Amino acid sequence: MANSPHGGVLKDLYIRDEPLKEALQAEAETLPHVVLTERQLCDLELILNGGFSPLQGFHTQAEYTSVVHNNRLPDGTLWTIPIYLDIDRTTLDSLGVSAGSRLTLRDPRDDQPLAIITISDLYTIDRSQEALLVYGADDEAHPAVHYLRHNTRDTLVGGDLQAVNAPQHYDYVAIRRSPAEVRALFKKLNWTRVVAFQTRNPMHRAHRELTVRAARMRHANVLIQPVVGLTKPGDIDHFTRVRVYQAIMPKYPNGMAQLSLLPLAMRMGGPREAVWHAIIRKNFGATHFIVGRDHAGPGSNSQGADFYGPYEAQDLVLKYRDELDIEVVPFQMLTYLPDTDEYQPINEVAEGVKTLNISGTELRRRLKTGAPIPEWFSYPEVVRILREANPPRDLQGFTVFLTGLHASGKESIARALQVALNQEGGRSVSLLLGETIRQELSSELGFTKRERDINVARIGFVAAELTRSGAACIAAPIAPYDEARLQVKKLVAKAGGFYLVHVATPLEVCIKNDRAGVYARAIAGDIKGFTGIDDIYEPPVNPDLVADITKTSISQIVHEIILLLERDGYIGDR
């Protein structure tokens, strides 16, 4: 028999509001509306399907205050993470809504109406207080605090929801199940004791061993329930992770485990989040929940120390275990014993016994460099999937971004580098010259700072897409402003390599090399806002290479760029 929901009743608003669906759908089209953020979309789905039972809406001010300060809803029910709908005050004012108003909430992906909120109150919060009380520190190195500081809007909207439509998913539909569907699955399979396992990372042999040990200890079946909403920035994408989970499921004894996805927006809130995760798994019907080492921990703070102790999350869940009414299965980290070819909890390994482990950092290094990943650590099927998603450097794309004054020689360097990379072979090479981009992508733009930044952002977008596809991209705009260049780097670096080359040819040489006479016209005042004359050029602070064609030949500059690429493994045979 599945566990009872948190609060005693599964608050599935889809089922509750089904008789009103047609009327709600019609009303939703007549109401003012807002488009949800990605986090709000995840939260909304779990409120509507009962995953966040007993919640039936976004927190009011009283609920928010009670949760932040007391880990409880106003009625005393245990709840540890604030769930709120944040909207800009200017947006609310333009919509003309206030307490008592009804507002349609729309899907950011397809603009479909998902729910109607009846607004109970509008309120503001103390962000520092939330950071300190909920996440333990007002430190932007914590992903949730960074989100709170930079993404959370200024006004919170509390109120109950009515369900209109479920969010439409097109990926892994067969294993996206609501709490009611998971409970029905348990009933069909005659599962009465279920251990739930939360993960946001790929699973390897140690994870399989951990979950099987938990099943043996509690005489239970296993629900693998990975998060496919928002996780920690930099995590492996959920498409790759789900392929890994699907590959590892046959490694369990037949009938022992099921895979079901959870559209949760994690906060990486450590102890409080662990309690929240236990509540959610209880709503899905699990009777047991695995809490491992540093559960939902975000890593290091801005001083280099861990935000939370390794077993702080276990301690808080155990503190509330009687109220949670879901049995916690605490686990220490498992380590591999090569002499006996087995995994053991690290606290059970005798002193002097040889152990092996591969950290997440080391795994990422091996994936990037193509170094071998031993079978004691992971299954060949899993490694193959991870290598497809994380090819070695010589199969990844990169961008070389040359910046400098007009006629500094950056275009000549770019063309020569294109020839050298084409000669090297192995990937397509694209050239994005400043004049070409101006003609083909930005012909409507002028030369104000804002328009220059838009032009550079467009170059960055194209460069990132080319890099993501495994190509070599050479961009050579003037790009005079440091912030715009940093934004390009941030965008491209998510897709592959990025190298900033400052072509620092002196202005007087650029003027001399300018056959078109553009500098002369700018000096004469015929052209306004020309970089280097009456508009600034901000030299890069930390470029990967500084080049000056008056001191170094173009062929030598190209060679130095090639050496950078070879050093990092993007070209050459290692």
Catalytic (active site) residue 149: no
> How far is CA 430 from its chain centroid?
28
Distance CA 219, CA 221 (A): 7
- Helix (H/G/I), strand (E/B), else coil: 369: helix
**Close Cβ partners of 84 (under 8 Å, ≥ 6 residues apart):** 58, 59, 64, 156, 157, 158
Distance CA 287, CA 320 (A): 15
Catalytic annotation, pick one of 37, 165, 199, 531: 199
Distance CA 400, CA 151 (A): 31
Buried b (16+ CB within 10 A) or exposed e, 521-535: ebeeeeeeebbbbeb
How many CB atoms are closer than 10 A to CB 9? 11
The H-or-E segment that residue 182 falls in is helix 179-189
Per this entry, what is the length of the chain?
A: 574
Catalytic annotation, pick one of 91, 118, 192, 201: 201
- Identify whether the C-beta of residue 506 lies closer than 8 Å to the C-beta of residue 548: yes
**Close Cβ partners of 353 (under 8 Å, ≥ 6 residues apart):** 337, 339
How many CB atoms are closer than 10 A to CB 380? 10
The H-or-E segment that residue 419 falls in is helix 410-424
φ and ψ at residue 244, rounded to 5 degrees? -65, -45
Distance CA 446, CA 303 (A): 44
Catalytic (active site) residue 357: no
User: 482-493 vs 449-468: helix axis angle to the nearest 10?
Assistant: 20
**Close Cβ partners of 232 (under 8 Å, ≥ 6 residues apart):** 143, 200, 266, 268, 298, 299
Distance CA 455, CA 449 (A): 10
Pick from 262, 222, 226, 266: nearest CA to 245 = 226
- Identify whether the C-beta of residue 541 lies closer than 8 Å to the C-beta of residue 479: no
Catalytic (active site) residue 199: yes
Q: What is the DSSP secondary-structure string of 92-156?
A: HHHHT--TT-EEEEE-TTT--EEEEEEEEEEE---HHHHHHHHHS---TTSHHHHHHHHTS-SEE
The side-by-side arrangement of strands in the sheet containing 429-433 is 429-433, 472-476, 398-404, 497-503, 545-547
Distance CA 276, CA 253 (A): 30
Catalytic annotation, pick one of 200, 281, 427, 485: 200
* DSSP β-ladder status, 102-106 and 33-35: parallel
Active site residues: 199-201
